[in-house]
Structure 1
């Protein structure tokens, strides 16, 4: 059992990614995931209703030198899943069951920002819309993710 005062094995990773201190207890034993670290995603704001993060274009491009469509999806799924996980609360967890994305324009340099907004926060489902923008605020992609909220399995004694 982690509390909010005992640093977990991922304390440095959480701090580097911008995870607020009050969420370290929740994520302290798991971290944010290797892909989130690899993609360079940094959190700016986190809540079930709204989560914002940035991601560099550099290192996340496809062969044509533009931000990979899969990178858009990784950012969207990360934001939606973290938001749904916070909504699920203690004793429950979120499992992604559907994601889609529409790409509106490309980008070849700089940083993108994903803004995740709750569409529905229910007892068993949470749906979020994620808008990815460039540094000028232009929309690059729009994604939607639905997560199923599940009870954690009982601990085996």
Structure 2
């Protein structure tokens, strides 16, 4: 049974990559997860949005959608991610929209479409997650605390 988006546990503590890249959720639902990411701070050396930044946004949104369907009984982990970069983004925010292609008991596949501020498609990604029976080791509750020097 899917969980209510309001009950989604904290998936991106402040020190984690999505937070560092400025990713913000716009909406959370079982049929769609939407988020934004600034181009500024996520560029490659030629001033374009880094392709790896698109991948982080896609995996963040797709994994969140998988979590909405799998939690609390199962725990999604990324299995495969593919990204096709159609055009560059050079400024403003990009918006990602994740929608389920398949949601099963053991796997889910999501399509993530990323667009620039003008609404032009910049990237299409597909993420497949494995839904595990056990919580992966090293999650936020299990990470060792840093020791002072």
Q: Which TM-score tier does this pair reach, normalised by the shorter chain?
A: 0.7 to 0.9
The aligned counterpart of 1:6 is none
Count of aligned positions: 131
The aligned counterpart of 2:7 is 23
The aligned counterpart of 2:113 is 131
Work out the CA distance in 2 between the residues paired with 1:117 and 1:94. 16
CA RMSD in angstroms comes to 1.7
Using structure 2 for the length normalisation, give the TM-score: 0.82
Q: Which runs of 5+ in 2 are unaligned?
A: 136-149
Helix, strand or coil at the partner of 1:78: helix
Q: Does 1:74 align with 2:95?
A: no
* CA displacement, residues 62-117 of structure 1 (integer Å, 9 cap, x when unaligned): 00000000000000000011110111021310011100000000011110000001
The aligned counterpart of 2:85 is 103
Q: Does 1:94 align with 2:62?
A: no
Distance 1:33 1:89, change over 3 A: farther
Structure with more helix by fraction: 1
Helix, strand or coil at the partner of 1:27: coil
Post-superposition, which runs of at least 4 consecutive aligned residues in structure 1 deviate over 2 A?
30-33
Work out the CA distance in 2 between the residues paired with 1:61 and 1:71. 8
Work out the CA distance in 2 between the residues paired with 1:115 and 1:33. 24
- Determine if contact 2:13/2:19 at 8 Å carries over to the other structure: no
